[in-house]
Amino acid sequence: MKTKTLKQDKINIITLGCSKNIVDSEVLFSQLKANDFNVEHESKKEDANIIIINTCGFIDNAKQESIDTILRFAEAKQDGKIDKLFVTGCLSQRYKPELEKEIPDVDQYFGTLHLPQLLKTLGADYKHELIGERLLTTPQHFAYLKISEGCDRPCSFCAIPIMRGKHVSKSFEQIETEVKGLVKNGTKEILVIAQDSTFYGLDLYGDRKLAELLSRISDIEGADWIRLHYAYPSQFPMDALDVIRERNNICKYIDIPLQHISDNMLKTMRRGITKKRTLELVDTIRQKVSGIAIRTTLIAGHPGETEKDFEELCEFVETAKLDRVGIFTYSHEEGTHAGTMIDDVPQEVKEERAATIMDIQQGISAAINQQKIGKTFKVLFDRKEDGQFIGRTEFDSPEVDNEVMVDAKNNYVRIGDFADVKITEATDFDLIGTIIK
Ligand code: SF4
């Protein structure tokens, strides 16, 4: 295909999966724009004739969604509605040979780290000068900041190291350049993400440097909210908690996937930590950073999980009263350590256990929210919907946590602005309030 023809075409990028995939799509988007391509992200107009799907290959549901999306556009290509179809991202990285055989209508499959090759195929040059610069697909006022790629951890259930490779930290300087670029373009909230953010620096600087990184980001004028995601419990860098406590522009919030609590399961999952040390860590986080909101993720139904293990998990969720809990049902993934085990927990039991945990957490979330009635919180407003302005407190991350609703009839705020909100009502997972003039 002649390079020239591609430029007159229209490209639509489809992103599936996690925030790390969103960042990859934003980098691709920026590169194509800088090459003067007519490109959009998640356009609903169906007027693009070249489709790039950035897939997710994490667990069953996500894989199925990626395959369904590829098949949908493969059909559109057969029907002549589109000319070219390219697939990249984790599913493509993990199953390229199988996908090439099963869905040959795709023009080319690329891996997670093959951006230059994808650009070359489209007739675009990889612009090094763009490193650190990126067009956002999120609202301009918040952005994901990927501080590293890959993961060195041996978690039994996880296929991410297969798809993303070994842990590679970005340098302090590259990250600072990226944050300055984002802030210059109006971003106020920086969501620090990685596969394992607490591993930051070990590969590059020979030591855990998350605390220093958070300080450096916090020093950047205009970074009003900095939020830490994907912290790993084992060998947790305690000095990071001091920085979170001391810096006003670092949200009193931490996302720390624990996955389970029983010693039997933590050992089987190869998490490198015990129940006792996990409980101590949660206590230390709360002691060192008063009022911090803790988000975690848990897995129900991992091979070997007994009724007793699950009771321990329920008891932990009941007593730890964490602010935000997400739960996955175990997905049997070939190529992982757990993939070599017998998937001995029936699917319906997995789902029952996940539902039980969410029921417990719903009660805890409701109680935590009730305590917020009458209090005033700084809220960052994300959107206006159904006659309400909707935002989040520093204790809530976009897409996954609670929201604050303010009636648009009696209140006004610009999207992307902060405002102080007095909470007047609370539901299990959201807050309602009025803006304090
Ligand atoms: S820390 Fe564990 S669960 Fe997270 S990406 Fe790495 S291997 Fe997967």
The 3-state DSSP composition of the chain as helix, strand, coil percent (nearest 5) reads 40, 20, 40
Mutational pocket test of ligand 1: of 160, 162, 200, the residue with most ligand atoms within 8 Å of the beta carbon: 160
User: Is the minimum distance from the CB of 199 to ligand 1 under 6 angstroms?
Assistant: no
In tens, the pLDDT along 266-289 reads 999 999 999 999 999 999 999 999
Distance CA 119, CA 126 (A): 7
pLDDT over 70 percentage in the chain: 98
Between the CA of 158 and the centroid of ligand 1 the distance, in Å, is: 6
Average pLDDT, integer, range 382-387: 97
pLDDT in tens, 73-122: 999 999 999 999 999 999 999 999 999 999 999 999 999 999 999 999 99
Helices 307-320 & 347-370 angle (0-180, nearest 10): 10
303 pocket-lining for ligand 1 (C-beta < 6 Å)? no
For residue 364, CA distances in Å to 252, 298, 314, 359 come to: 19, 16, 12, 9
Residue whose Cα lies nearest atom 4 of ligand 1: it is 195
Residue 161 near ligand 1, beta carbon < 6 Å: yes
Closest residue by Cα to atom 8, ligand 1, is 158
pLDDT at res. 277: 98
Residue 339 clears pLDDT 50, i.e. is over it: yes
Output the CA 21–ligand 1 centroid distance in Å.
15
The verdict on the CB of residue 153 being under 6 Å from ligand 1 is: yes
Handedness of CA 343, 346, 350, 356 (dihedral sign): negative
Kindly report the three-state secondary structure assignment for every residue of 245-261. Answer: HHCCCEEEEEECCCECC
- Among 110, 5, 101, 103, residue whose Cα is nearest residue 49: 5
* Residue 3, pLDDT score: 45
Whether pLDDT at 25 is above 60:
yes
Confidence of residue 131 (pLDDT cuts 50, 70, 90): confident
Give the count of beta carbons closer than 10 Å to the beta carbon of residue 153: 16
pLDDT of residue 2: 45
- 194 CA to middle of ligand 1, Å? 10
Structure confidence by residue, pLDDT tens digits, 154-207: 999 999 999 999 999 999 999 999 999 999 999 999 999 999 999 999 999 999
What are the start-end ranges of the H helices in 56-188?
Answer: 60-78, 90-102, 115-121, 160-164, 172-184
**DSSP secondary structure letters along 58-88:** SSHHHHHHHHHHHHHHHHHHHTTS-SEEEEE
pLDDT for res 130: 81
Q: What is the pLDDT of residue 129?
A: 81
- For residue 196, give the ligand 1 atom closest to its CA: 1
Q: Which pLDDT belongs to residue 354?
A: 98
User: Which of 147, 155, 299, 302 most suits a substitution to test ligand 1, by most atoms within 8 Å of the C-beta?
Assistant: 155
Dihedral over alpha carbons 125, 128, 131, 137 (to 10 degrees): -10
Q: Which atom of ligand 1 is nearest to the CA of 151?
A: 6
pLDDT score of 1 more than 70: no
* pLDDT reading at 437 higher than 70: no
* Mean of pLDDT values over 31-36: 94
- What is the layout of strands, in order, in the sheet containing 189-193? 142-146, 189-193, 225-228, 250-255, 293-300, 324-329
| Cα distance between residue 386 and residue 375, in whole Å | 25
| Ligand 1 mean position, distance from CA 429 (Å) | 27
Instruction: Return the ligand 1 atom nearest residue 154 CA.
Output: 7
Ligand 1 within 6 A of CB of 158 = yes
